[in-house]
Structure 1
């Protein structure tokens, strides 16, 4: 019902709203543009290119962010030094990294991946740190009493206990990475969903612009619901943080 009402409001605004129809097309025109891009393959090619870049940038973010979060969570001196810097940089919108990416790497794939990494790695590290700090102190004392140290402690006690917070951080990092990717793909003609947005703007094809925006929402929502929410819910149930 809500979706139907939203589409109705959209159609009314497109027909009677303050903007000309060519600047605010209705649902039918946007749907036709979306299906046209799907039929000729542009949509699927754009999604595949964007997802390939996202996989690279997000993997690097996880490889950097998780160890950094563990260090900040376990070492008080490192937390005192790094936490203010990480929190401060996290407050910086990912689009602000675009000028530096262009200067350092030029108009290359590396620029886009750099923006993706900077958009997500800090959120992951902060969430992992919070997950480590929220581990039950009694569990830590028991592990110390039994002499569990080193890799056995991290792999068998600390990381499993902090896993709900870590999974939440990975989910948060994914959402930031997805947003940063869309900003990075607007840099230059590089394929992907960002290029479809840019081409629609340059050609004044507003239905295409809105259709790509809907595709971005659908892809992001699909991955969040199917992958991250499923894993997060299972972990929370396993740790007794959610009911069946």
Structure 2
């Protein structure tokens, strides 16, 4: 009888594991099929436009030609060096922007004179096109990595700061009073009450900051071309000068895919946060 119970228990575990695996596959498929459908739609429209002859094939190549060019590019070392250079610049600029934006956001949110002096200026900086900063950046730093990082930081930090300001502003006063009643004061109040309560807005600001940083970075790489430093923006510019439409579009696809992957990282963090807050039970 004991052996029978053991076998039955193992069978139940196998069934549970199988059900869990099928559930995960179902979730993956439920998340993937709308994206696959959208991709198929875009490729279909692209192919139809190509067949229509709206533009010459050397201006608008067929999808298969672009993906063949991409398949050739991924076998070259320069392609991967370009991706590595761009990602390194993006991550360094984003980390610097996040540090500045978080500190600035907290200071402006809690110090009234700073809010009066800088609140609207931060929003104005956020609305400025990143490309407008490049003439000043080149004057200050010449054609260098620092010129690119300068614009990336200026492009991303204001949106991160605004996310922090919004998050701190919307912390319920009841939570602040409860924290003070438990003895939280000064930094401990921020650590245990304000920071957790404002975290959703901060994550949203970081996500938006990355988008601004990525846009600023690619604009910078198109304008600030450093010798012996392959990058995605430099690759785009070079292929455009060669009238290589397939190469231009394939590089744009790579930039788009990196953006999608970054969004997936932030979306995963947001889902975990919502689950921890009890807002997402799925």
TM-score scaled by length of structure 1: 0.95
Tell me which of 11, 14, 38 is aligned to 2:74.
Answer: 38
Residue 148 of structure 1 deviates from its aligned partner by 1.2
3-state DSSP class of the match of 1:142? helix
> 2: distance between equivalents of 1:90 and 1:5?
34
Tell me how large the CA RMSD over aligned residues is.
1.3
Tell me the equivalent position of 1:202.
241
Residue 76 of structure 1 deviates from its aligned partner by 2.1
Tell me which of 183, 192, 210 is aligned to 2:231.
Answer: 192
User: Do the aligned partners of 1:101 and 1:114 also contact (CA within 8 Å) in 2?
Assistant: yes
Tell me the equivalent position of 1:243.
281
Residue 2 of structure 1 deviates from its aligned partner by 3.4
Residue 146 of structure 1 deviates from its aligned partner by 3.0
User: Deviations 1:70-97 (Å, cap 9, x if unpaired)?
Assistant: 1121122211211111111111011111
TM-score scaled by length of structure 2: 0.83
User: Do the aligned partners of 2:148 and 2:224 also contact (CA within 8 Å) in 1?
Assistant: no
> 2: distance between equivalents of 1:2 and 1:65?
35
Q: Which runs of 5+ in 2 are unaligned?
A: 1-36
3-state DSSP class of the match of 1:186? helix
What are the equivalent positions in structure 2 for 1:9-88 lying under 5 Å apart? Answer: 9-88=45-124
> 2: distance between equivalents of 1:56 and 1:2?
33
Q: Which runs of 5+ in 1 are unaligned?
A: none
Tell me the equivalent position of 2:147.
111
Tell me which of 231, 249, 262 is aligned to 1:223.
Answer: 262
Residue 172 of structure 1 deviates from its aligned partner by 0.9
User: Do the aligned partners of 1:69 and 1:124 also contact (CA within 8 Å) in 2?
Assistant: yes
3-state DSSP class of the match of 2:74? helix
> 2: distance between equivalents of 1:173 and 1:66?
11
Tell me which structure has the larger Cα radius of gyration.
2
